[in-house]
Amino acid sequence: MLDLTTILSGSIVGLILGVVGGGGSIIAVPLLLYVVGIPDAHAAIGTSAVAVAVSAFANLLTKLRQGLVKWPCVLVFSAAGLLGNFAGSSLALRIDGQHLLVAFGILMVVVAMVMLLRRDAEGDPDVKLSLNTARHMLPWLLGVGLAVGALSGFFGIGGGFLIVPSLMLATGMPIANAIATSLVAITIFGAATSANYAWSGLVQWNVAVNFIAGGIVGGIVGTLLQSRLANQKGLLNSIFACFVMAIGCFVIFKGV
């Protein structure tokens, strides 16, 4: 029954990622805590980080064929983010689990608000990091990479909802490139966070495997549904944002 619950929870995350295209990993920790029944917030975050890394890598393989990844930009962004990620995850391990839950719930509410307000902006698809553009881009990529990596490590999330607008702000790339490029950073940040938690013995590997298996199935179904629901994507995003906000409020209540 526990394995089935874990697989179903993973499939929910995969389905959301497939249909909406992002944000699903933010509900992984609440699902692991309150549906699967992992008793410790730190273990839920560590286990979630493993699933986030694997899911992002699987999605990245698809995007690589489309040639949308801006490699020089994301390598600089991720290098700075790794430092922030290690600091953030190390700090989270020292914080009481209940306090961490309250902070996580607040983050979910903020994420929901960003999803409701976000508008896809145009950008330059030919933008690249070079000697000519480094003077402007490099400080932005290093600064926002460090900050986003710290948040990703602290909360054990992929952070795509933060990485995508950050890459667009730092480089001026279009959202399609930012989404594809963000998957590289999400994979790296998720792997780094899970490694830090695994070192502390806070990853439940059997749960992670079942969660990932469910996510793969849900992702396939979600991808098939995406084309049929393409015209309603804006509405789906808004519904999901309200859902995330409601869960965030619940997490804050439980944490308090």
Q: What does the alpha-carbon distance between residue 28 and residue 207 come to, in Å, rounded to a whole number?
A: 12
Q: In 200-232, which residue ranges form alpha helices assigned H by DSSP?
A: 205-228
Which tokens sit at 81?
A: 């983010």
Share of the chain above pLDDT 70, in %: 88
Mean pLDDT of 63-71: 87
Q: Which amino acid is at 56?
A: A
Cα–Cα distances in Å, from 182 out to 81, 119, 175, 229, 237?
Answer: 12, 17, 10, 24, 19
- In this prediction, residue 116 has a pLDDT band, given cuts at 50, 70 and 90, of confident
Q: What does the alpha-carbon distance between residue 48 and residue 210 come to, in Å, rounded to a whole number?
A: 12
CB within 8 A of 117, min separation 6: which ones? none
pTM above 0.85, yes or no: no
Indicate the domain borders of the chain.
Answer: 2-255
The pLDDT tens digits for 212-249 are: 999 888 878 876 776 676 566 567 667 777 887 888 89
Which tokens sit at 133?
A: 């553009």
Which tokens sit at 251?
A: 């997490």
For helices 160-171 and 97-117, what crossing angle results, to 10°? 50
Cα–Cα distances in Å, from 212 out to 64, 99, 150, 153?
Answer: 21, 27, 24, 20
Q: Is 224:20 a contact under the CB 8 Å cutoff?
A: no
Q: Looking at the predicted structure, is the pLDDT value of residue 119 above 60?
A: no
CB within 8 A of 228, min separation 6: which ones? none
Q: Is 254:101 a contact under the CB 8 Å cutoff?
A: yes
| pLDDT for 8 | 94
